[in-house]
Amino acid sequence: MTYRPIRFVVALGIIGITIFGSSLVFAEVRKVSRLPIVDRSIAYHGGSRYDDSQTDLEMCSGSGCYDIGVRMNNGLYRYDVTGTIRGVDRRVVSTNDGLEMWVDGRPVEIPADQVSAVRDWAMARVYFSFLPFRLNDDSVFKEDQGLETWDGRSLHRVKVTFAAGSSSDSSDEYLYWFDPKTGKLEQLAYSFEGQPGGLRFRKGVRYRRIGDILFFDQENFGVEGDQYKIDQINPEFVQTMKHVSTVELRQIKVETPE
């Protein structure tokens, strides 16, 4: 899922109790713009360092490798993503001011009806590489779903949805599980539409802090089919999912922007 900032009105609800599998969850069933557990997680993983850094890395998974350059400075950003798509080399640079693309090393004009999809292609790689940094963007709705037990540990479960029209994938839904004390992001899951759609569950592994930012790889599990919904994810359901890939972040370098 990728998205660009968009303003929205908070939808209020009530507080209730939900049961996921064998775990009892005290859920705050309302959509909000901020949650203490998410604020804590962003602070734990990098905090203000996210917005004052130049990061270069390589992200590799079953679909190939991508070179990613991310510069952030007081709300200004420059995302530079390069990868091979169906045998064609693509480079996309997205900034506060606009979007540029190169194909096989040549600059190309982006058709108006493809601007959102091209921007989202680059943003997706940044989004997954820098979690949980983007979870407080204006387009993000969050639902506190309380504690859920995974492998004998209580993790804080949060559901995320997105403002309609904020990206080409704004109908996707996400779940995140955080350590309730530190805010460390332990795992995530998301739904996606396609032919067919399906679910993915990613478990964080190999955490390392570089330049004051906490990076981690992800073991990626999946199931295909439009009949599956994100709310089905629990420890028992994950046991039925197949390992799809390992998402690795390599050659990470973090500096302070000049």
d(CA 189, CA 66): 22
The phi and psi torsions of 192 (rounded to 5 degrees) equal: -150, 150
pTM for this prediction: 0.85
Report how far residue 37's alpha carbon sits from residue 246's, in angstroms, rounded to the nearest whole number: 27
242: its two tokens: 């197949």
Any residues with CB less than 8 A from the CB of 172 and at least 6 apart, and which? 1, 162, 190, 191, 192, 193
| Bridging pattern class, strands 52-61 and 88-95 | unpaired
Show the tokens assigned to 200.
């993915």
Q: What is the pLDDT along the chain (258 residues), one digit of tens a residue?
A: 433 332 222 333 333 434 344 444 444 457 787 899 999 999 999 999 999 999 999 999 988 999 999 999 988 999 999 999 889 999 999 999 999 999 999 999 999 999 999 999 999 999 999 999 999 988 899 999 999 999 999 999 999 998 865 555 557 899 999 999 999 999 999 998 887 889 999 999 999 999 999 999 999 999 999 899 999 999 999 999 999 999 999 999 999 987
For the record, the structure tokens of 46 come out as 């990098």
